[in-house]
Structure 1
Amino acid sequence: MAEDEKTPARQIITEYAQAHFRYFRTVDGTVYAQRNGHPVARPIRSQGTTGSHRQELMVDLFRDGVGVFNGTALREALDLIEALALTESVQPTHIRVAPGFNGSTWLDLGRDDGRSVRIHPTGWDILTPDPQEVCWRRTQLTGELPLPAKDTDGKGIDLLLRLTNFTGAESECLAVAWLIGCLDPGMPVPAPFLTGPQGAGKSTAGKMLMRIIEGMTGDLRRAPKDEENLITAVAAGWITALDNLSHLPPDLSDAMCCIVTGAESVKRALFTDGDVVRSRYRRPLLLTGIDVGVIRPDLAERLLPLRLVRPKVRRTEAELWAEYSEVLPTVLGSLLDLTVKVRAAEADTPTDLRMADFAHLCAQLDAVAALGALPSYRASLDDLNDDVIEGDLLAQTVLKHAAGLIPGAEARMTSSEWLHALSGLYSGDDCRPLPKGWPTTGKVLSDRLKRLQPTLAARGVLIDWGRTREGRYIEMGRPADPTPGQQQPAF
């Protein structure tokens, strides 16, 4: 018997795999396989039937004439490869956008040849990234983007806005700012909430914004029923777009806050007693709907309302999307050109807004194009504060109480005393019954006021907490009137 016929199958597979693929691990211990010279990485434990590394390895072994091997040999070889890879250096994987060397950013075009867009301080190029610099992770949600057009002279932005039904320049400039923010993997961006009357094209506009970065296969989806399914959907793509929202329960609202600013989920690994699976996520989020009811204050600070109107002239779906597909390379090229200019612009960072990175981006956009993005962003937050107050009877009662305070003066009481005072103010002389959801204890009132604190501060009501020897207290007041010549601070 020949010597090579005595070589175990698992050894043949292992030697072939290590010669043609690079294996590495991520910080959470997942081992990935990356074909030599190609930027796309696949987890070796993936059991998917489409695009899994196991399938990729089987095909290569057959095409190169090495042989056809059974499942046991493949499993044993991959077990050994995984054990060896756990001793290698750690490298992250990315979906759609990734940071690069020397201040650059990469955009995955989703192409089989691995070509991607490198955005650098002086421009952008279409290249195949060095596998040591960028490792792309792709899923079934990763669609293919066309090659962006060069030298568009900015006309792609106008072509995009012409296909949408935004109410005016305020919503249009914020939509453009959000798209630029989506190309930065390190920037948390507020979630656009496309709203308007029935028939205003909210879903269509949402798809158009999303598909600029996710490709023509990107689509809107219904909100998952629980947080675990939402996190799974978020982790599989870059932009998560939820369509036709009519209600935001507290759990979903809290999950959206985490998606926008970043969080981590830990759950037990399947079929194990002690292993866990970590899911880190911070993704751009897009929402559409006519009205979602009461918006919680913490989510309101992370939303970007974009309003649409009903079009005067209707077009067929086929005609609309045919035109969109035709102009998409120009739109993407113009967006990349504008992104380079905006990143190079110098502007002051607003320090009074929670999403300071996005506010700074709006200021940079104004420095380049003078679109009024930052004033529009401030106005949108002001509108959201009004929505929060209109939907919260406690906030309305606090504002009513604060209206009787002298500017510069402060009222200090315990939480129970505040509950008694605010309940009496709401009930009035006619002893109106307290509404459902009204705080029942001083502790519940204190927690509600902590959520409402930024919203009330935007309306000139300052709330603080403290402690004396007698116990804890809540302090409420209004800022003193500015002296002549002194500018009133903007909230």
Structure 2
Amino acid sequence: MAEDEKNPAREIIADYAQAHFRYFRTADGTVYAQRNGHPVARPIRSQGTTGSHRQELLVGLYKDGRGVFNGTAMKEALDLIEALALSEPVRAVHIRVAPGFDGATWLDLGRTDGMSVRIHPTGWDIAVPDPGEVCWRRTQLTGELPLPAKDTDGKGIDLLFRLCNFASASSECLAMAWLVGCLGPSVPVPAPFLTGPQGAGKSTAGRMLMRIIEGMSGDLRRAPKDEENLLAAVAAGWITALDNLSHMTPDMSDAMCCIVTGAENVKRALFTDGDVFRVGYRRPLLLTGIDVGVIRPDLAERLLPLRLERPAGRRTEAELWAEYADVLPVVLGSLLDLTVKVRAAEAETPTDLRMADFAHLCAQLDVATGLGALAAYRASLDDLNDDVIEGDLLAQTVLQHAETITPGTAQRMTSTEWLACLSRVYSGDELRALPKGWPTTGKVLSDRLKRLQPTLAARQVLIEAGRTKEGRYLEMTRPAPTPPHEQPPLP
């Protein structure tokens, strides 16, 4: 009797699996299988119709002459493997972009052979990463990228912008900064918001930007109706691109803030009473639309408005995307060359901007290219502050009242007193009715003002909260203008 016939089927499967795969767990407790010598790992409980670990095992056992096994034997073997893997060291898995050794980062090309791009301080090259350095996780949203071209002399960037309809050089340099930021696994980047008149090609430009990193199969999506579906889409890919936004609820706005700067979601595990699973995420986000209505201040600080204009001439979709597919290797190669230059540039980090990492990247881009990306970023934030103020009657009223405060002095009142004061300022002599959404209590006013603090500070109106023996207060200040430096006397 053959040796395999003496062993139960589950033992044959388990022995074969441990000989050909490495099993480990991630920080959230998910167990992954990684074929020996290959950088791609799959969750062993995946029930995907293509590419699941169960299918890997079935095909491997069959091709190696071990036989065909039923579902019960496979389940028992995987249960044992999963239990053994829980005692293995924790490892991280990455989608599309990952940190490597010695300051390098990796870009997954989505190929079956595992070929990836290693971006290091002295350049970039194409190789299969060592499984001990990088472990890729792939989903149905992970498209394949072409092999990037070498020695492009930067012409790929010009080819890209020739296909897009950006209205100004400022929008182009900010788009470049965002693309470079997308290749950094530890750099949170603001979400580009592609705006412009109808027919400006916003959706097409959005697809072109994301497909540089996500491949030709990457596409824009309609915004999900709830936060749970949005986070599911975010967790399955690297860049999440939402098309044709016309309205944004407060909950969706908060979710987008979390996506840009990072957060963790904890949910109850299915079919359990007390178990939970954790999903941490921070992803590049891209939005398109003509207008999303009122923008909340916290989201405005995380947006990157890129304006487009209507093209002088039209082309067919087939012609446009055929040309894009031809130049994509050159565009990707030029982006990688630019990324190496930007990372090597020395620049100070601006300390007055919320997205300090991206502001530092813009400063590095300026050192490397002299494009003025940091100034363009500041100007874009200033425009967004204007949008926030134009859409918020309370902010407009606060700025109107602040004009009555002497620069360099402060005005202090309780939140209830401030509510009465600002309501009088809004109503004026005409005794206008207070608008819908106006704060109804001092607590609501205090919360609204805290949210508006960065926007008002950009207009030289400072709001601070404090407490004395008498109780809590809000203080409004207009800083005194800084006197110009005296010129030294002429010799």
Q: Normalised by the size of structure 2, how large is the TM-score?
A: 0.98
Gap regions ≥5 residues in structure 2: none
Counterparts of residues 51-70 of structure 1 (less than 5 Å)? 51-70=51-70
Which deviations, in whole Å up to 9, do the C-alpha atoms of 1:193-249 show, x marking residues without a partner?
A: 000000000000000000000000000000000000000000000000000000011
Task: Provide the secondary structure at the position in 2 that maps to 1:298.
Answer: helix
Which deviations, in whole Å up to 9, do the C-alpha atoms of 1:368-425 show, x marking residues without a partner?
A: 1111100000000000000000000000000000011100010000000000000011
Give the C-alpha shift of residue 48 in structure 1: 1.2
Q: Which residue of 2 aligns with 1:258?
A: 258
| CA distance in structure 1 between the partners assigned to 2:60 and 2:481 by the alignment | 76
Task: Provide the secondary structure at the position in 2 that maps to 1:103.
Answer: coil
Q: Which residue of 2 aligns with 1:27?
A: 27
| CA distance in structure 1 between the partners assigned to 2:44 and 2:485 by the alignment | 67
| CA distance in structure 2 between the partners assigned to 1:71 and 1:119 by the alignment | 43
- Give the counterpart letter for 2:259 in structure 1: I
Give the C-alpha shift of residue 275 in structure 1: 1.0
Give the C-alpha shift of residue 483 in structure 1: 1.9
Give the C-alpha shift of residue 277 in structure 1: 1.6
| CA distance in structure 2 between the partners assigned to 1:35 and 1:458 by the alignment | 53
| CA distance in structure 1 between the partners assigned to 2:8 and 2:427 by the alignment | 84
Structure 1 position 300 matched with structure 2 position 300 = yes
Task: Provide the secondary structure at the position in 2 that maps to 1:270.
Answer: coil
Task: Provide the secondary structure at the position in 1 that maps to 2:313.
Answer: coil
Q: Which residue of 2 aligns with 1:228?
A: 228
Q: Which residue of 2 aligns with 1:171?
A: 171
| CA distance in structure 2 between the partners assigned to 1:333 and 1:64 by the alignment | 40
| CA distance in structure 2 between the partners assigned to 1:48 and 1:60 by the alignment | 17
Runs of 4+ in structure 1 deviating by more than 2 angstroms, as ranges, are 1-4
| CA distance in structure 1 between the partners assigned to 2:89 and 2:414 by the alignment | 56
Which deviations, in whole Å up to 9, do the C-alpha atoms of 1:59-115 show, x marking residues without a partner?
A: 110011110000000000011011111101110000000000000000000000000
| CA distance in structure 2 between the partners assigned to 1:150 and 1:397 by the alignment | 56
Structure 1 position 416 matched with structure 2 position 416 = yes
Counterparts of residues 279-358 of structure 1 (less than 5 Å)? 279-358=279-358
In structure 2, the CA distance between the partners of 1:406 and 1:135, relative to structure 1 (3 Å rule), is same
- Give the counterpart letter for 1:240 in structure 2: T
| CA distance in structure 1 between the partners assigned to 2:250 and 2:49 by the alignment | 37
Query: What's the RMSD between the two structures over aligned residues?
Result: 0.9
Give the C-alpha shift of residue 251 in structure 1: 0.3
Q: Which residue of 2 aligns with 1:102?
A: 102
Give the C-alpha shift of residue 477 in structure 1: 1.1
Q: Which residue of 1 aligns with 2:158?
A: 158
Q: Which residue of 2 aligns with 1:117?
A: 117
Q: Which residue of 1 aligns with 2:83?
A: 83
- Give the counterpart letter for 2:348 in structure 1: D
- Give the counterpart letter for 2:193 in structure 1: F
Q: Which residue of 2 aligns with 1:210?
A: 210
| CA distance in structure 2 between the partners assigned to 1:338 and 1:396 by the alignment | 42
Task: Provide the secondary structure at the position in 2 that maps to 1:187.
Answer: coil
Contact kept, 8 Å, 2:4 with 2:12, in 1: the verdict is no
Q: Which residue of 2 aligns with 1:274?
A: 274
| CA distance in structure 1 between the partners assigned to 2:456 and 2:45 by the alignment | 51
| CA distance in structure 2 between the partners assigned to 1:295 and 1:416 by the alignment | 26
Contact kept, 8 Å, 2:181 with 2:187, in 1: the verdict is yes
| CA distance in structure 1 between the partners assigned to 2:431 and 2:94 by the alignment | 59
- Percent sequence identity over aligned pairs: 83
Give the C-alpha shift of residue 484 in structure 1: 3.2
Give the C-alpha shift of residue 486 in structure 1: 7.7
Structure 1 position 238 matched with structure 2 position 220 = no
| CA distance in structure 1 between the partners assigned to 2:29 and 2:255 by the alignment | 25
